[in-house]
Amino acid sequence: MPKLLSGAEIVFKSLEDQNVEFIFGYPGGAVLPIYDELKNHKSIKHILARHEQGAGHAAEGYARSSGKPGVLLVTSGPGATNAVTALTDAYMDSVPLVCISGQVPTHLIGTDAFQECDTTGITRPCTKHNWLVKDVNDLAEIMHKAFEIAMTGRPGPVLVDIPKDIQFNKGVYKEKKIKTSKNLNGSKLNKVNPKDIDKFIEMMKNSSKPIFYSGGGVINSGPKASELLRELVSLTGFPITSTLQGLGAYPGDDPQFLGMLGMHGTYEANNAMHDCDLMINIGARFDDRITGKIDEFSPKSKKIHIDIDPSSIGKNVKVDLAITSDVTELLQNLIKRFKEKNKNFINSNKQKTSKWWEQIDKWREKKSLNFINSKETINN
């Protein structure tokens, strides 16, 4: 007969199986059984915040810098509601976060008990998925599923709401299932249509004023995606700009990099986006800080949009070629095909894009980020 573990033990066994090293949180009555179990798991370090919102943002920062999902532990009621801002931020910025929240005992749910709230209802709009655990024997499977959903496809936050009695109850721990392939919307990820690749290359060949527009999807896809992006930009000789979320994927000191675009971007990047005849969006969302007025945004360009999330494509801006794919897989296929068909692309395309680069250099002369230091001192 398998060994029975308490719900709190199952939580930590699941975290260990997911190779979690840090959890961020703030204690409260509804999660005390989980906090009591913490001392028995030396491989996991707890980072104590002073407020659940701060713990959530710290978990976000950890996820962004490590590439691993951040783990947040909060109590019921105000603990969970305080975490909503961090969950919403993670949802909007595609940051993988697993939030474990305490809940009042099962028999008190719906009775307006002390520090009770409808946590799953409140967090449904700002998480990829959430669960209210009703049986301790389902807990391990839910925990593993939470990590899988947080990291699969477009990353984002998930929440597991665990009533206090479930944390005490004994149940069977189910091992993490190792999957050989990831699925997104019922189909296998990263199956790029060769016809889309050929059309992509043809559009690049026909362009005289192209630009790459990279976003957070490149960062989320992993270090390999950044390497491949640099290789593609080098192969084509095209200029590239980036959103705030995409900064770091391409070297900021490279001559082909025009700086960040959008409301807080450079003069040359925004003008190039407006005047281009081909815009290649890799892992960005066409959000309002970039587009401004949609009907005036890059009116004469053909647009290619690559995104792992099909709901993001065509949501704000109509595109001419839509490809649903992980950035790494798409770029691998594209570069391989590009090298086969266009060995001397830069040399053959140099004359076609020379006037475009001349125009970009004129915009650069404005030096939009320069400023003059003031010698004045402001005295209070």
3-state SS string for the chain: CCCEEEHHHHHHHHHHHCCCCEEEECCCHHHHHHHHHHCCCCCCEEEECCCHHHHHHHHHHHHHHHCCCEEEEECCCHHHHHCHHHHHHHHHHCCCEEEEEEECCHHHCCCCCCCCCCHHHHHHHHCCEEEECCCHHHHHHHHHHHHHHHHCCCCCEEEEEEEHHHHHCEEECCCCCCCCCCEECCEECCCCCHHHHHHHHHHHHCCCCEEEEECHHHHHHCHHHHHHHHHHHHHHCCCEEECCCCCCCCCCCCCCEEEECCCCCCHHHHHHHHHCCEEEEECCCCCHHHHCCHHHCCCCCEEEEEECCHHHCCCCCCCCEEEECCHHHHHHHHHHHHHHHCCCHHHHHHHHHHHHHHHHHHHHCCCCCCCCCCCCCCCC
Pick the CATH number of 4-179 from 3.40.50.970, 3.90.920.10, 2.40.340.10, 3.40.50.720: 3.40.50.970
Distance CA 273, CA 324 (A): 22
Q: Write the pLDDT tens digit of every residue in 72-111.
A: 999 999 999 999 999 999 999 999 999 999 999 999 999 9
Distance CA 31, CA 8 (A): 9
Quote the pLDDT of residue 179. Answer: 59
The CATH T-level fold of domain 187-364 is Rossmann fold (3.40.50)
Q: Write the pLDDT tens digit of every residue in 183-219.
A: 444 344 557 899 999 999 999 999 999 999 999 999 9
Q: Burial level of 66, CB count in 10 A (0-12/13-18/19+)?
A: exposed
Give the position of tokens 């709190």.
8
pLDDT tier at 377, thresholds 50, 70, 90? confident
Quote the pLDDT of residue 209. Answer: 96
Q: Where in the chain is the domain with CATH 3.40.50.1220?
A: 187-364
pLDDT tier at 345, thresholds 50, 70, 90? confident
CA distances from 299 to 49, 203, 217, 273, 289 (A): 48, 17, 24, 10, 17
Quote the pLDDT of residue 182. Answer: 46
Residues of 285-314 as b/e, b for ≥16 C-beta within 10 angstroms? bbbeebbeeeeebbeebbbbbbbbbbebbe
Quote the pLDDT of residue 187. Answer: 41
The first and second tokens of residue 169, run together, are 């109850």
Quote the pLDDT of residue 347. Answer: 73
pLDDT tier at 180, thresholds 50, 70, 90? very low
Q: Where in the chain is the domain with CATH 3.40.50.970?
A: 4-179
Distance CA 26, CA 218 (A): 33
Q: Write the pLDDT tens digit of every residue in 26-84.
A: 999 999 999 999 999 999 999 999 999 999 999 999 999 999 999 999 999 999 999 99
pTM given for the model: 0.86
Quote the pLDDT of residue 87. Answer: 98
